Amino acid sequence: MNIFIIKEKCTGCGLCIPVCLYDAMEIVNNLAVIKESCNLCGACVEACEFGAIVIEKSQISNLKSQIGYNGVCVFAEQQNGEIHNVVFELLGKGRELADKLKTQLSTILIGHEVDKYSQELIERGADIVYLVDDTDFENFNVESWTDVIAKLVLKYKPEIFLAGATCCGRSLFPRVASRLKLGLTADCTGLDIDMDKRILVQTRPAFGGNIMAAIISPYTRPQMATVRYKVMKERDRDRNRKGKIISVGGTFLTRYYSVGVGKPLLQRTKILKFVEDVTQKINLQEADIIVSGGRGQRLNGG
């Protein structure tokens, strides 16, 4: 996208300056000038009463970026060999979104000796499980996992890609989005489909939680979001449900391994050992209800 000033319409009134949160506008010789700090948010366009500021979108580029993308995908995060419960919440919401779009729901499961969880993901709502089961992925490594997930997205082309807003998801998904040059909406508390435009509407708290912002990503695919834990209903398990498990390995993985080394290209760190945090007795993230109390302090004798 490009932003520019129509000089014939600009009066130099300065209405665009106070609405710009990035100090990207200034008036020079009675004309508005856009600085390099502009992030194309569009606030100045709405503020201009004379239609002198225009954001031009490349429709050809937008269409090309969406060709072939279809389906909803959930990143099946696992910790210490156990599927995180947020995945089951995402599968419930993902199933709902996929049914609205009349498309399939898939998951990406990465780790070592995690194939035993593939069937449960299907029973929780997935139609397809893309399984990466390899000794090199026994422990979470954000560099190598980013590399493989980005390649999987490019290969299977989901139009919506979701993950939990956990420590893992918050570390991994921004890197995947950056690698694919996509937007990412973090810490969502609601997801829905605009059926007229067939796009994902992502709801999240903004301005310190004072408002709820509805965010869309209409021009690129997949539409990526991380979702807060415990805000969506966990999908029940249907043991009669059938699906497909696609084991991704062999030539697909070796194409992205260093020649003669057998390790992922982007694995520049080495995990020596994990040290469990034994100081935390209760995991507040798992609590349905939290009760807290405190003691106030009197001021000025009040």
Q: What is the mean pLDDT of residues 133-151?
A: 86
Residue 259 — pLDDT band, cuts 50, 70, 90?
Answer: very low
Specify the pLDDT at position 34: 92
> Which pLDDT score, from 0 to 100, does residue 260 have?
42
Quote the tokens at residue 184: 């990412």
Residue 222 vs residue 260, higher pLDDT: 222
For residues 221 and 284, which has the higher predicted lDDT (pLDDT)? 221
Q: Is the peptide bond before 205 cis (omega within 30 degrees of 0)?
A: no
Res 287: pLDDT: 72
Model confidence pLDDT, tens digit, residues 218-244: 888 999 999 999 899 998 899 999 999
Say which residue the tokens 């034994």 belong to: 278
pTM: 0.73
For residue 39, what pLDDT is reported?
79
* Token output for 62: 């937008």
The domains of the chain are located at 2-56, 72-254
Q: What are phi and psi of 111, to 5 degrees?
A: 160, -160
Query: What topology is assigned to 72-254 in CATH?
Result: Rossmann fold (3.40.50)
The answer to whether residue 207 scores a pLDDT higher than 90 is no
Cα–Cα separations (whole angstroms), residue 301 to 153, 278, 296: 63, 43, 13
Q: What is the dihedral of CA 43, 49, 52, 56, to 10 degrees?
A: 40
Kindly indicate whether the domain formed by 2-56 is annotated with CATH number 3.30.70.20: yes
pLDDT tens profile 46-80: 899 999 999 876 544 454 467 789 999 999 999 77
Q: Please, what is the average pLDDT of the chain?
A: 85
Q: What is the mean pLDDT of residues 192-212?
A: 89
Q: State the Cα–Cα distance between residues 236 and 178, nearest whole angstrom.
A: 34
Question: How confident is the model at residue 71, as a pLDDT?
Answer: 96
Residue 288, pLDDT score: 73
Higher pLDDT: 160 or 146? It is: 160
> What is the pLDDT, as a whole number, of residue 61?
46
What pLDDT score was predicted for residue 253? 61
Q: Is the pLDDT of residue 157 over 70?
A: yes
Going by the DSSP 8-state scheme, the letter that residue 22 receives in this structure is T
